[in-house]
Amino acid sequence: MKYFLFEFITGGGLIGESLSNSLVREATHMLQTLIDELNSCCDAEVIITRDYRVEPFKGNVSQHVIDSSYHHALIKFIKESDVSCLIAPETNNYLYNLSELFIKNAKTYIGSDLKSVELTSSKLKTNKTLMSANIHTPETIILGDDIPDSKLGWVVKPDDGVGAQDCCYFKSKSEIKDFLTKNNDNYVVQPYLNGENISISVLVYKNRVKLLSCNKLEIKIKNKLIYLDSIIVNEYLSYKNEMRELAENVVECIPGFSGYIGIDLIRSNEKLFVIDINPRFTTSLVGISESLGVNVTEKILKTFLTNEIQDINIENAIPVKIKLL
């Protein structure tokens, strides 16, 4: 069998643009994890594309260097492969447009449908959908003159942003208004929530949900910018039942999720608030197999090849730290 993995940052998605070292580092870890785990679980050809500026990957993998437009290469590799997988940012509709390309051309595509990708690519649309389902989430509005009340400050971020990238924390409305005079394109604002920063990783298939990890996110704020410093995979197993129930509620109110889904949360006043939903692999993937003691990529692959969600037990998971900064 042939497996095609396209990771946007390292795979040629930013040809003609500058590459961020931090984004390349995170993306490399995710893609190398998938390559290693596919190599260890099956005797098959693994195919990737690679930006000519990125170092070669290790392992049994066919690497096709991209130094110009990647579009035609993607269609070719998708059609030639038995299973295709995509990692791309929501920014500028990259994830949506590439999902459409993969869905149209792949024999087996590990990923969510277009409606769920479109909705969760917008933090504003996601917020409204969650609120209508009575799922806790901070008030989110388009950044403008109307700023919601908050005693602890505000978080300002792109509506289609990825993780903590370009997220800012402001203590006063005057700081936000100053930011607004310089940046008025597609930003949203939320009241800052004080609590535990958490993410959960789940496997979703035909509306069934398997919890993969309950992670602690270590956040830093410097010069008003918010950074994700590290992830401790399965540090928060004590909240697993709450998190499983929340994930099931999210999947129920946003149909169409399939494969690996990441959900960012804040636990504040003993309630879980959904901050962001990522219908794609996230950096937490890097530590999940080590934490669980099983090949999670193999579990995901078998789910799609057998049309039956695989059993995954996180009861005996151990914490695994992923340092990002």
Domain ranges of the chain: 2-110, 112-325
Is the distance from CB of 217 to CB of 284 less than 8 angstroms?
no
Q: Does domain 2-110 have CATH number 3.40.50.11770?
A: yes
Joined tokens for residue 147: 């700023």
* Residue whose tokens read 């690996």: 260
Mean pLDDT, 10 residues at a time, the chain of 325 residues = 97 95 94 97 93 97 96 96 97 96 98 98 96 96 87 94 86 90 84 97 97 97 94 97 98 97 96 97 98 98 97 97 93
Joined tokens for residue 66: 């991209």
Beta bridge partners of 89: none
pLDDT of residue 324: 93
List the one residue out of 79, 84, 48 whose CA is nearest residue 66. 48
Beta bridge partners of 2: 45
State the Cα–Cα distance between residues 64 and 80, nearest whole angstrom. Answer: 14
pLDDT of residue 313: 95
Is the distance from CB of 6 to CB of 86 less than 8 angstroms?
yes
Topology of domain 112-325 in CATH is D-amino Acid Aminotransferase; Chain A, domain 1 (3.30.470)
Joined tokens for residue 52: 């000519």
pLDDT of residue 164: 73
* Residue whose tokens read 């909705």: 119
Number of residues that this document lists for the chain: 325
Question: SS3 of 65, please?
Answer: strand
State the Cα–Cα distance between residues 75 and 248, nearest whole angstrom. Answer: 34
Backbone angles phi, psi at 246, to 5 degrees: -65, -45
pLDDT of residue 196: 97
List the one residue out of 246, 214, 269, 209 whose CA is nearest residue 134. 246
DSSP-derived letter for residue 30 is H
